[in-house]
Structure 1
Amino acid sequence: MMAILLPVCRLALLALISGVCFMARLVAPMPLPTDTPTCTAAQSAQYSLTFTGKWTQAAFPKQYPIFRPPAQWSPLIGVSHSVDYHMWRRGDFASNGVREFTEKAEAWTLMKEVDTAGERIQSALGIFSAPAVRGGTGQASAEFEVFARNSYLSLMVRIVPSPDWFVGVDSLDLCEGDQWRENVSMELYPYDAGTDSGFTFSSPNYETVPQDKVTQITSSFPSHPANSFFYPRLKHLPPIAKVTLTKVKKTNQIISLLVEPTQSNQLPTDNEIEEKHIRTPLDCEVSPWSPWGLCKGKCGDSGVKHRTRYVLLHSANHGTACPLLEEEKKCTPDNCL
């Protein structure tokens, strides 16, 4: 009996193995990620960050905010983090913290979100800040430290005034293999957080329902003539700000969480002076024609009637001049007996 059972068991075992092998051929193994960079730097690095506002009336003449409030920038909020964290991301929905920061420049909820993420992913995240820039142009500076396990940088600065517009950096890796990058310079362009539906810098607060995703604002998007950044003659908007990072010699100073910013320079820099040659042409915009007025003239003679339109936006920087604002044509006088 035992001699009969052994061949049967062998056949069953072979069938089981064969089935497993067949299923293995059907289900391909999941490939291991190979495109995620890994920082192997032995030491941490300290960086000096300089934010430069380049928001000038010459470069952005349309609806440029002159007062209540004038063009300016909120304080900068930055974080050094690991690859599995995002403060904000183009194409994703903004968090509540990002909403509050981009609409009101309030950062407490955003900082709490960073703390919670740090506890969840068990990775060191360091928050730092830089002071506000009280003008469209000017500079603000800060220093921060990065380690191999949190070699990425993200930051945000709110455009003031605006509905929910900001500039920022999403997950810039400062490490290349076992070396830290010495210098990095990035031009910044406006983004819409997708939480407020205003088109202009001074639009009233009007919540976007349902919430949109974070999108980049361009010279043609949103495609609406009321949009403060709508310049259909431009292929690309000029950069509205810039961030420069420089690796500095480490000191024994311990960079604390949210240290009070001490470095700020509101005076024009050489870079800003160079940028003043950027002059974006702004075409004149006029309203539609009014209806034709009454035909005026002597009975029996040819009369004249008029229609008018008014200037919505004056031209600037050699843009197309305004057309005629009044037009007339001949007519037969009204109410003639």
Structure 2
Amino acid sequence: MDTTGKILFINEALYRLILMILTLGQGVHSMPVPTDIPMCTASETAQYRLTFTGKWSQAAFPKQYPVYRPPAQWSNIIGVTHSSDYHIWQRNEFASNGVREFAEKGEAWTLMKEVEAAGERIQSVYGILSAPAVVGGTGQMNTEFEVFARHSYLSFIVRIVPSPDWFVGVDSIDLCDGDQWKENVSLELFPYDAGTDSGFTFSSPNFETIPQDRITQITSSFPSHPANSFFYPRLKHLPPIAKVMLTKIKKTNQIISLPVEPTQSNQLPTGNEIEDKLINTPLDCEVSVWSPWGLCKGKCGDSGVRHRTRYILMHPANNGAACPLLEEERKCFPDNCL
């Protein structure tokens, strides 16, 4: 079984496990811990459709774009509906063991246990939602979920595959506005580093971060290292790598509805309202440092020539700066002539 096949098998197994959990128990219907944050006063529950769209294309992110073993793709989405006192992850805070395992390996077992424990302990989690993986950097996954006044927040996480510990997601978006539910919410997503693995590139080997760092957003200039797969010093901001649309739909008797089969599209959708103009990010040529000067070649008594060379580290793309000269020469006089 090749690498992509193994990932598909794991994603389908995880998806079916989550579906079984959701079937056995449709969320936790407990009273939340009181907080000072104003509560939603909507009188009825609301049902939403979540549409996740991957925008991780080679044109938008040409640097080190993974094309095989495995190619660019997205993991299952893991999300929860909850009250304001719960967070599945937070920017500038440490990732839990569950988030760590999911961000690094795509394994959701520990994360699901943490969510379940939070629902039982602090009574803040209402329901769990999931959708199958997107096999490609561009493509979609959909799911439906329900919220109600005491648990009006949504959080989720999706792993970037392949990557050391990178993900996209949302932390605590409130779908309630006073006594009304929001009709539509559109969010652009950018990559985050879970702070648990120190790799710089999509295909970096496992290199544990000791001590663990906090969750940070990856930008075009941070981490400031030329080896970083998202390092584009010419850009002020990275283009969004994904997008999520939350649309309020007509209420049904089901708390959650999941698609039957995993999405296997690797192209952006066409002919619908969520299609965006494709972005072409310029990638400048990168070259190595110069080699030492070679031996002086020439006849004794006459001037000769010596050379030095460098090689291309990164070919340019999308009208990025062209590569400079890769060879130089200069005059010299041969040594040790007899």
* 8 Å Cα contact 2:135-2:264 kept in structure 1: no
Match of 1:319 in 2: 320
Equivalent positions of 1:122-201 (< 5 A) are 122-201=123-202
* 8 Å Cα contact 1:86-1:170 kept in structure 2: yes
Aligned partner letter, 2:115: V
Match of 2:94 in 1: 93
Against the structure 1 CA distance between its residues 90 and 192, is the aligned structure 2 distance closer, same or farther, given a 3 Å change threshold?
A: same
Aligned partner letter, 2:268: P
Unpaired segments of 5 or more residues in structure 1? 1-32
Alpha-carbon shift at residue 252 of structure 1 (Å): 1.7
Match of 2:245 in 1: 244
Alpha-carbon shift at residue 120 of structure 1 (Å): 1.5
Deviations 1:306-336 (A, max 9, x none): 0000000000000000000000000011221
What SS is found at the alignment partner of 1:172? strand
* 8 Å Cα contact 1:124-1:149 kept in structure 2: no
| Runs of 4 or more consecutive aligned structure 1 residues displaced over 4 Å after TM superposition | 259-265
Identity of aligned residues (%): 76
Match of 1:305 in 2: 306
What SS is found at the alignment partner of 1:109? helix
Structure 2 CA distance, aligned partners of 1:75 and 1:263? Answer: 9
Aligned partner letter, 2:97: N
Larger radius of gyration: 1
Structure 1 CA distance, aligned partners of 2:262 and 2:335? Answer: 73
Q: Please say if 1:234 is aligned against 2:235.
A: yes
Match of 1:10 in 2: none
Match of 1:210 in 2: 211
Scaled by the length of structure 1, what TM-score is found? 0.86
Match of 1:67 in 2: 68
* 8 Å Cα contact 2:91-2:217 kept in structure 1: yes
Scaled by the length of structure 2, what TM-score is found? 0.86
Aligned residues, how many? 302
Match of 2:268 in 1: 268
Equivalent positions of 1:39-54 (< 5 A) are 39-54=40-55
Against the structure 1 CA distance between its residues 245 and 261, is the aligned structure 2 distance closer, same or farther, given a 3 Å change threshold?
A: farther
Match of 1:21 in 2: none
What SS is found at the alignment partner of 1:275? coil
* 8 Å Cα contact 1:166-1:191 kept in structure 2: yes
Structure 2 CA distance, aligned partners of 1:62 and 1:102? Answer: 21
Structure 2 CA distance, aligned partners of 1:104 and 1:249? Answer: 36
* 8 Å Cα contact 1:97-1:108 kept in structure 2: yes
Deviations 1:160-215 (A, max 9, x none): 00000000000000001111100000000000000000000000011000000000
What SS is found at the alignment partner of 1:75? strand
